[in-house]
């Protein structure tokens, strides 16, 4: 796996508590190739064997997150990000907090790509097999205008459908990437999930796609709405 590229940018950083919703936070990512990484960041990467450390926010109280290495199970690539505290010891030291980690997943039929080059989706207690189903349902829906019309024709929000359909017609469907997945409702044999999808034209907006599941076997898009961070 090629090295992560350190870059300072506005990124969509999901919250670590559930339900996670992305928010625009200025973050800088450091890996072992980052020449200007602080020594305590280098020390943590050496100890943890993880992918990178992400530093978010500015001023006196930045937030630190450490990423584990990527694992693969079938077509699912996954890694976790842990919230870190910077100790006041001399020298300072990054340590994991007791906050539960945020897991990220991506469906990939080939090798696991670097999170620095491609989006992974934040997941909130959604089983791996369910996540895979949800991603395939969404990818199939936007694979062509005909598939889009057949899958989403019953959605009542005409304005949102028009924007989404134009994105597919313009060949930008691959930019409607899944950013976040969380369970929406649980009524036993019927469950629904919220799949948060990037808006290719606005970094501060997203689409919330509701996917319903019956008996854990049949998955169907039952709603779409536009959201803003």
The per-residue pLDDT for range 124-137, each reduced to its tens digit, is 889 999 999 999 99
**Residue, of 93 and 3, whose pLDDT is higher:** 93
- Per-residue pLDDT band for 24 (boundaries 50, 70, 90) equals low
| CA 99/CA 190 separation, integer angstroms | 30
Please say if the pLDDT value at position 17 is more than 60.
Answer: no
Q: Where are the domains of the chain?
A: 8-123, 126-228
Report the run of H or E that residue 70 belongs to, with start and end. none
Give me the phi and psi of 62, to 5 degrees please.
Answer: -70, 160
| CA 75/CA 73 separation, integer angstroms | 6
| CA 171/CA 212 separation, integer angstroms | 27
Amino acid 156: pLDDT: 87
Average pLDDT over residues 43-53: 94
Average pLDDT over residues 73-81: 96
**Residue, of 12 and 161, whose pLDDT is higher:** 161
The per-residue pLDDT for range 193-221, each reduced to its tens digit, is 999 999 999 989 999 999 999 988 899 99
The per-residue pLDDT for range 167-183, each reduced to its tens digit, is 999 999 999 999 999 99
Written as six digits, the tokens of 5 are: 């590229």
- Per-residue pLDDT band for 162 (boundaries 50, 70, 90) equals very high
- Per-residue pLDDT band for 75 (boundaries 50, 70, 90) equals very high
Amino acid 58: pLDDT: 75
Q: Which of 46, 12, 60, 4 is nearest to 29 (CA)?
A: 4
58-62 CB contacts, 8 Å cutoff, 24+ apart? 58/26
Q: How far apart are the first and last CA of the chain?
A: 32
pTM for this entry: 0.82
Beta carbons of 44 and 62 less than 8 angstroms apart: no
Helices 145-152 and 128-141 cross at an angle (nearest 10°) of 120
The rounded mean pLDDT for the chain is 87
Please say if the pLDDT value at position 66 is more than 80.
Answer: yes
Please say if the pLDDT value at position 7 is more than 60.
Answer: no
């Amino acid at each position: 796996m090629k090295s992560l590229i350190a870059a300072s940018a506005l990124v969509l950083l999901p919250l670590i508590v559930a339900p996670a919703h992305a928010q625009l936070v200025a973050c800088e990512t450091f890996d072992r190739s980052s020449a200007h990484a602080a020594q305590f960041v280098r020390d943590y990467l050496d100890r943890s064997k993880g992918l990178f450390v992400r530093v978010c926010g500015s001023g006196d109280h930045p937030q630190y997150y450490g990423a584990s290495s990527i694992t693969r199970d079938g077509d699912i690539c996954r890694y976790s990000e842990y919230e870190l505290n910077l100790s006041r010891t001399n020298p300072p030291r990054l340590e994991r907090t007791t906050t539960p980690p945020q897991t990220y997943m991506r469906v990939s039929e080939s090798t696991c790509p670097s999170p620095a080059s491609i989006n992974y989706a934040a997941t909130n207690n959604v089983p791996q097999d369910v996540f895979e189903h949800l991603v395939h349902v969404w990818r199939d829906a936007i694979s062509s205008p005909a598939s889009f019309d057949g899958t989403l024709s019953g959605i009542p929000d005409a304005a949102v459908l028009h924007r989404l359909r134009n994105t597919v017609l313009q060949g930008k469907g691959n930019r409607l990437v899944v950013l976040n997945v969380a369970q929406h409702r649980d009524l036993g044999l019927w469950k629904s999930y919220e799949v948060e999808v990037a808006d290719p034209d606005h970094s501060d907006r997203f689409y919330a796609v509701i996917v319903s599941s019956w008996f854990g076997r049949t998955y169907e898009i039952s709603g779409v709405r536009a959201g803003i961070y």
